[in-house]
């Protein structure tokens, strides 16, 4: 339960702090793309927690969202790049398997904000890393 709460809180932090230096027009909602990890939406675990977080952000803050599931490993990078190309403000990869893909795409789109949950992409000013000690999800 705590891990679910941490994922939701992380998404709120990303939305609230990660984009604090970006100014958006009042009529243009923040566009957030969420790309699920293995298991996808409906896994009753990590991905579902992220889906609940972005649904909550859409309902409470008017965030425009899109949710994508990679069919194969190569889709991770393709999905991230597609969202960046069509102008999403924040793109979130759920899971450590997104580390390489986010690293590659973040270099190509330095003005786009990226986040990785449960992974790490070092040295990228436009990438926010969220990792939690595994034993914290047990309490």
pLDDT(125) > 90: yes
Give the separation between CA 18 and CA 90, rounded to whole angstroms.
9
Strands (E), 6-136: 31-35, 64-68, 90-94, 113-117, 127-130
pLDDT(10) > 80: no
- Domain count along the chain: 1
The CATH number assigned to the domain holding 111 equals 3.40.50.2300
The reply to whether the predicted model has a pTM over 0.95 is no
CB 91 within 8 A of CB 109: no
Range of the domain at 91: 2-138
- If we measure between CA atoms, which residue out of 124, 72, 113 comes closest to residue 91? 113
Give the separation between CA 43 and CA 100, rounded to whole angstroms.
23
Count how many residues are written for the chain.
139
pLDDT tens digit string along 45-98? 788 888 998 999 999 999 999 999 888 777 899 999 999 999 999 999 999 999
123 φψ region: left (φ > 0), alpha (ψ -120 to 50), beta (else) = left
3-state secondary structure of 24: coil
The structure tokens listed for 100 are 């390489």
């Amino acid at each position: 339960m705590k891990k679910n709460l941490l994922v939701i809180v992380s998404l709120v932090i990303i939305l609230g702090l990660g984009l604090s230096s970006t100014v958006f027009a009042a009529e243009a909602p923040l566009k957030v793309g969420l790309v699920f990890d293995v298991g996808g939406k409906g896994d009753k675990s990590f991905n579902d927690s992220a889906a609940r977080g972005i649904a909550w952000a859409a309902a409470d803050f008017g965030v425009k969202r899109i949710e994508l599931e990679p069919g194969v490993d190569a889709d991770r990078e393709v999905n991230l790049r597609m969202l960046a190309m069509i102008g999403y403000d924040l793109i979130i990869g759920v899971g450590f398997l997104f580390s390489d893909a986010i690293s590659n795409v973040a270099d190509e789109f330095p003005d786009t904000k990226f986040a990785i949950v449960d992974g790490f992409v070092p040295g990228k000013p436009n990438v926010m890393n969220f990792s939690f000690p595994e034993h914290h999800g047990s309490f």
